[in-house]
Amino acid sequence: MRRISIGVTTGALVLGVSLAAMTSAVMAQSVTLTLGSWRTEDLAVWQDQVLPAFEATHPDINVEFAPINTNEYNAAIQSQIEGGTGPDLITCRPFDVNNEWIGRGYFSELDGLAGMANFTDTAKAAWTFEGHTYCVPVAAVLAGFYYNVDIFNELGLTPPTTTAEFIAVLQAIQDSGKYTPLAMGSADSWQLAYNGLYSVGPAYWKGEEGRLGLIDGTKKLTDPEFVEAFKAFAAWRPFLPPGQEALAYPDMTQLFTLGRAAILPDGSWNIKQVTSTGLNVGVFGPPAVEAGGQRYLQEMPDMAIGINAASPNQEAARTFLDWVAGPEFQQIYVNTAPGFFAMSNQAVTYDNALAQNFADLKTGASLTPRLALDRLSAGTPPLDDEIWRLLQLMMTTDTTAEQATQELQAGLESWYGPQKGN
């Protein structure tokens, strides 16, 4: 028995070695680019869909998708690049992390790239530093509210459009006694900010007006519009499931997909999981403050790709990025990874109906990224992490919106230049 298995192993080994020798002989004439990414879950998307499409039209360029664990991505890329072993193509984090990386000279500048014309300045903002762009935007994520259409029909409810309607809908579901109004828990503090405050808040701080006001120091977190936004989020607390203090993100999704909760505040990235049980799911955007008021929608630049300045294959990398900037790539990517949305100004259609619904929410809405990730989190304490922590305190203890915003403002003033003088 042992002898047989040794024979098989040796055979396989010989076969493997000769195969490897053959492929490397073929590849010898072409350039191979490595693409570093934190999306380990997208391995199949890139290997089976995206890259073959590129290689079909560019036989001389070979791209290898080399993902790194999400949590270790930043540290791994930093040590690889500083040690001279970085990938040719680097997936770019949005805003602060990337600005820091640009400042350290990790990227080649992409201003002259033809495909860049497909992106507006807003789309490029997260990867632009001192007027130059360093990464080609790949995808953004949206956040809103998934709702169980059957529960809404059963209770005779329609998706709310104003804050007052939103609370009335939650109250009606609560009163029915059959379902939990909101599938949300406070154990994973990040999602209180990303799925909660950053969705309902922009209607109060007027999206970009408030966000940029914080950045240039003309507004403070203790200003009434921000306090009101925190209060609007705190108003959800009575509608959360019992024991919500210890419920994590997967628990929320489960509560919703099992049909026990009517509304799930969540991001577009969760589309696949939310619809996995065949539930009849709809989506609505964050409510406006008053009837007829401006609607806002959180559109967060998530991912872009840049070129490692130290890569010897600059020309091939630029060719690849030019293709990434074009409609062919965008169309393939957003449809193989539903929940991610193209950022270019070219028309893209979404095969996934719910993704299309999500994309439709953009129409007529004023778009804004997450409040605290641009510049405001580049110091200690990072505003974004502090918002997570204080929202968690607000939802689990008796911390008020006033106390939370005061503490956040004090933390920001302690290091952020434009806020210091106030």
Partner 1 sequence: MTRPATARWSLLLFVLPALAIYVMFAVAPLVSSVVMSFFNADRTLGSVFVGFENYIYLFTEPVVSARFWNALVNNIKYFAIHVLVEVPIGLLMAALLTSGALRRSEGVYRTILFIPATLSVVIVGFIWRLIINPLWGVVGFPLLGNQMTALPTISLMGVWQYVGIPMIFLYSALLAVPNDLVEASRLDGASPWRTFWDIKFPLIVPQFGLIVILTFIWTFNGFDLVFALNGSAPGPNYSTDILGTYFYRTFFGSSGQVADLDLGATVATVIFTIMLLVTALYFWLVQRRLRAHTV
Rounded to a whole number of angstroms, the distance between the first and last alpha carbons of the chain is 79
The b/e string for 344-369 (b: 16+ C-beta within 10 A; e otherwise) is beeebebebebbebbbebbeebbbbb
The reply on whether position 209 binds partner 1 by CB under 8 A is no
| Residue 336 is a binding residue for partner 1 (CB under 8 A) | no
By CB under 8 A, the count of residues binding partner 1 is 49
For 99, residues 6+ apart whose C-beta sits below 8 A from its C-beta are: 129, 375, 378
Asked if 96 touches partner 1 (CB under 8 A), the answer is: yes
- Strands 61-67 and 31-37, bridge-based pairing: parallel
Q: Would you state the structure tokens that stand for residue 249, as one six-digit string?
A: 């993100």
Of 25-33, 74-82, 118-126, 264-272, the window that binds partner 1 (rule: CB under 8 A) is: 74-82
Q: Which of 7, 3, 55 is nearest to 27 (CA)?
A: 55
Question: What's the burial of 333, exposed, middle or buried (CB within 10 Å: 0-12/13-18/19+)?
Answer: buried
Residue 87 in contact with partner 1, rule: CB under 8 A: no
Comparing CB distances to partner 1, the nearer of 246 and 291 is 246
Please give the single-letter amino acid code of residue 213. Answer: G
> Can residue 57 be called a binding residue for partner 1 (CB under 8 A)?
no
244 in contact with partner 1 (CB under 8 A): yes
The stretch near partner 1 (CB under 8 A) out of 8-16, 152-160, 218-226, 374-382 is 374-382
When asked if residue 105 is in the footprint of partner 1 (CB under 8 A), the reply is yes
Instruction: For strands 261-267 and 135-148, give the pairing.
Output: antiparallel
C-alpha span between 241 and 186 (Å, rounded): 10
CB atoms closer than 10 angstroms to residue 391: 25
Query: Is 393 one of the binding residues for partner 1 (CB under 8 A)?
Result: yes
Q: Strand 89-92 to strand 31-37: parallel, antiparallel, or no bridges (unpaired)? A: parallel
H-helix segments, 158-248: 163-176, 189-191, 198-200, 202-205, 208-216, 224-234
Q: At its nearest, how many Å lie between partner 1 and the CB of residue 406?
A: 16
Question: Which range in 3-11, 21-29, 241-249, 283-291 contacts partner 1 by CB under 8 A?
Answer: 241-249
Which of 62, 381, 400, 413 binds partner 1 (CB under 8 A)? It is 381
Q: Which residue has the tokens 């998706």?
A: 159
Q: Which of 414, 417, 420, 422 binds partner 1 (CB under 8 A)?
A: 414
Amino acid at the residue 309: A
Q: Does 311 bind partner 1 (CB under 8 A)?
A: no
Which of 149, 161, 169 has the alpha carbon at shortest distance from 236? 169
Amino acid identity at 175: D
Q: Which is nearer to partner 1, 350 or 388 (CB)?
A: 388
- Told to check if 267 binds partner 1 by CB under 8 A, we report no
CB of 8 to partner 1, least distance (A): 30
Q: Which stretch binds partner 1 (CB under 8 A): 15-23, 66-74, 170-178, 329-337?
A: 66-74
Distance CA 88, CA 33 (A): 6
Q: Nearer Cβ to partner 1, position 148 or 186?
A: 186
Site string for partner 1, 153-192 (x = CB under 8 A): --------------------------------xxxxx---
Residue 89 or 387 with smaller CB distance to partner 1:
387
Verify binding: residue 125, partner 1, rule CB under 8 A: no
Residue with smaller CB distance to partner 1, 282 or 381: 381
Neighbouring residues of 152: CB distance < 8 A, sequence distance ≥ 6: 158, 159, 262, 282
Residue 381 tokens read as: 């304490």
- Contact with partner 1 (CB under 8 A) among 88, 228, 384, 407: 384
Closer Cβ to partner 1, 60 or 245, answer by number: 245
Residue ranges that bind partner 1, judged by CB under 8 A:
38, 70-72, 74-75, 78-79, 82, 93, 95-97, 100-101, 103-105, 185-189, 241-248, 251, 255, 373, 377-378, 380-382, 384-385, 388-389, 392-393, 396-397, 411, 414
